[in-house]
Amino acid sequence: MKFDVQKIRRDFPALDQKMRGGHTLVYFDNGATAQKPQCVIDAVANFYEHDNANIHRSAHELSERATCAYEAARAKILKFLNAPDTYCPVYTRGTTESLNIVAQSWGQANLREGDEILLTQMEHHANIVPWQITAQKTGAKIAVARILPDGSLDMEDFEAKLSERTKIISIAHASNVLGTVNDIATISALAKKFGATLSIDAAQSSPHMLDDLSKIDCDFLSMSGHKCFAPTGIGALVAKREILDSMPPYQTGGDMIEDVAWEGTTFRPAPERFEAGTPHIAGAIGFGVAMDYLSNLDRAAVHEHERALCRRMHERLSEIPNLKIFGDAKDKVSVVSFAVAGVHPNDISVMLDASAIAIRTGHHCAEPLMKTLGVESTARASLTFYNTLEEADYFADTLKRTINLLSL
């Protein structure tokens, strides 16, 4: 079936607007956050207009409706991930909080002096800093697997760094800078071989519908709603229920307790154990609707369209003198990071904005990776299924003119 990108674009009202200079928005900043389909916007508005109430522990109709919608969204997350019933989704504020729960709750309860945490050079700060803090508190050590010149993971080095001391592997499924898609199936098999727990940062892979928990046997998967076309401030930690039930709470307060007495407190099982206080109810409902939206798309057609976008971007940007693309792995999502000799990435971004092109510049919360690449920052264009080949060409043509102007 041919992918009808124009039909898809009509679902996203933000894409159909004029920006500075009268140009139509070209949104190439999807790696930071994605635009929202009308169905998600409507679901959030409907909640606040008709069903606004706190969830759980109430018999009135509004609360019942809110609770049902909030809980139903969990099943939609599991369906989207094709997750077996051994997995349990915990609502979080996003991937960052999910990874912090793994590092602080699981990590501080299970790691000891001499244990090792295996990361890679391509990790986001959210998958580095929590482990550094946990390592300081437990005496565990962090090992870091190298990347190859094309931005792919050096699997020989990765395997060489595995040992009986490796207690957890925490790795991005897809790099937010390089676009590299890691071979999680192989990494999962290696984790099992060495008896290591496996944590997946799916912030950049889940929007591209790459995560299938029936094929990827991981222990933890962290994802963000806002990158998956859902509201901001909502995400999920999807983990094996038996592991979650063995972990101490991350935060304490209302709704996560079983019983409270002055002598002590007992806690509810997952997911409630990790959802203290009033949650982002509207966000969770919108998250569920976004999961339905993605689940109803033709994944094969989406993947082919995004591969075509990525190829076009690489082809067109490769024509520009003095421009270097970072990340040319065989398997990558439609993220293209680049730098131009003698031109600051932020100047490029400002000039592109004048033509209604939205990209991102900076270190992309990946300073160790920037040092590995030998740069302080890059410009990053991150595309998704509602972007078009025509937009890619407009971007490349505008970028070339921009560089010429900035190089005068």
Four-residue CA torsion sign, 386, 392, 395, 398: negative
Three-state secondary structure call for residue 337: strand
Q: Alpha carbon of 271 to those of 236, 268, 282: distances in Å?
A: 10, 8, 18
Nearest to 171 by CA among 97, 209, 222: 222
Q: Strand 257-261 and strand 335-340: pairing?
A: unpaired
Residue found under tokens 């999962």: 188
Q: Alpha carbon of 263 to those of 217, 251, 260, 266: distances in Å?
A: 40, 19, 8, 10
The active-site residue, picked from 68, 88, 310, 365, is 365
Q: Strand 360-362 and strand 323-326: pairing?
A: unpaired
Show Cβ contacts of residue 90 under 8 Å, excluding neighbours closer than 6 positions: 98, 101, 236, 237, 238, 239, 244, 270, 271, 274, 275
Q: What is the DSSP string of 194-259?
A: HT-EEEEE-TTTGGGT---TTT---SEEEEESGGGTS-TT-EEEEEEHHHHTTSPPSS-STTSEEE
Q: What is the DSSP string of 280-315?
A: -HHHHHHHHHHHHHHHTS-HHHHHHHHHHHHHHHHH
Q: Catalytic: 68?
A: no
* Amino acid identity for residue 386 in this structure: Y
| Catalytic annotation, residues | 365
